């Protein structure tokens, strides 16, 4: 007898794997950090993160595959990238400290 939850489990584990892969690169984390500040074009993201447009675009493809960023085409060659809704919700509750440890912000815990 086949487990009725198998398809759901396969889908959820697949998504966890995509997110894990997307977050395992320092450059992709930097791109997410930049995007959480404001939407930017691929060209601006490449310049601000010190990489080529081709490399930034590849990293953004991985982030998009994990549904961590959204993109919107403007014109024939320009594309604006912004954090995905779920990523934006997460980043609004967390902050990156200089020690490199993610912590929940006090505002999200109800503290003022």
| Residue, of 79 and 71, whose pLDDT is higher | 71
Q: What is the pLDDT of residue 79?
A: 63
Give the pLDDT confidence score for residue 110 in this predicted structure.
Answer: 44
Q: What is the pLDDT of residues 75-89, one digit of tens each?
A: 665 567 777 665 555
CATH classification code of 28-109: 1.10.10.10
SS3 assignment for 38-100: CCEEHHHHHHHHCCCHHHHHHHHHHHHHCCCEEEEEECCCEEEEEECHHHHHHHHHEEECCCC
| pTM for the whole structure | 0.68
**Domain locations along the chain:** 28-109
32, 46, 10: which is closest to 82 by C-alpha?
32
């Amino acid at each position: 007898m086949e487990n009725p939850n198998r398809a759901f489990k396969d889908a959820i584990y697949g998504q966890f794997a995509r997110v894990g892969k997307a977050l395992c690169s320092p450059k992709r984390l930097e791109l997410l950090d930049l995007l959480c500040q404001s939407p930017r074009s691929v060209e601006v993201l490449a310049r601000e993160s010190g990489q080529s447009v081709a490399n930034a675009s590849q990293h953004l493809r991985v982030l998009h595959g994990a549904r961590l960023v959204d993109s919107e085409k403007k014109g024939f060659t320009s594309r604006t990238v912004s954090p995905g809704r779920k990523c934006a919700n997460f980043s609004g509750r967390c902050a990156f400290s200089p020690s490199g440890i993610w912590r929940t912000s006090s505002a999200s815990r109800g503290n003022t």
